[in-house]
Chains A and B, each alone.
Chain A
Amino acid sequence: NAGVTQTPKFRILKIGQSMTLQCTQDMNHNYMYWYRQDPGMGLKLIYYSVGAGITDKGEVPNGYNVSRSTTEDFPLRLELAAPSQTSVYFCASSLPRQAAFFGQGTRLTVV
């Protein structure tokens, strides 16, 4: 009963490096989301997906890319890391108009 699993939990990147944050869910949810959380700012939606092969931008998509080749997986790609991308990233999944289930988060620091 894993739910939503994110890897890695922590990562330090140098400016200009790239990385992929992994997210997988085993609940057969068609909706998946990536949020970033910054102190005092709540959660901001980066990208979301309504099903395999379909993705769309959220509120703060610049500097990120996603793909959704399967129902289970929704990786988030940072191509050229910048200090402004230092944040905690959360992946979530849901069924339509149902509560979202969240992963434990990835704490990313860009130096």
Chain B
Amino acid sequence: AQSVTQPDIHITVSEGASLELRCNYSYGATPYLFWYVQSPGQGLQLLLKYFSGDTLVQGIKGFEAEFKRSQSSFNLRKPSVHWSDAAEYFCAVVSSNTGNQFYFGTGTSLTVIP
């Protein structure tokens, strides 16, 4: 069965520091992978997506993610975090053989300290 693991429940970083949020997936075929961000009281906003091709994908707000098939990972990175990046981040994988269902990780909460 498909699944997504985000091992870090909560991360705290200083403003200006680099960030890496981990995501591991379990999926038999070529996965379609996504990162979403959720600000308090809001819906989920797409940061970036990976379907195929270049394993390093660029997203909005200066985020990027790297797909590593050998490690079943799709980690999210940002070289310099801004206070406005404080939010909840979700990794997701799509299953194309079961009604295009999205499977989400449990999320990583990011706190940014000045």
Contact = CB atoms under 8 A, between A and B. Distances in A.
A74 interface: no
B7 to A, nearest CB: 13
Contacts of A31: 99-100
A100 B94 CA distance: 10
Interface in B8-59: 9, 32, 34, 36, 41-46, 49, 51
Range class of the A interface residue count: 20 to 34
Nearest to B41: A105
Contact of B51 (A35, A58, A97): A97
A43 B101 CA distance: 12
Interface of B: 9, 32, 34, 36, 41-46, 49, 51, 90, 92, 94, 96, 99-102, 104-107
Interface of A: 4, 31, 33, 35, 40-43, 45, 48, 50, 56, 58, 90, 92, 94, 96-97, 99-105
Q: What are the 10 closest A-B residue pairs judged by CB atoms, nearest first?
A: A42-B106, A102-B43, A43-B104, A102-B44, A42-B104, A104-B43, A99-B46, A31-B100, A99-B49, A50-B99
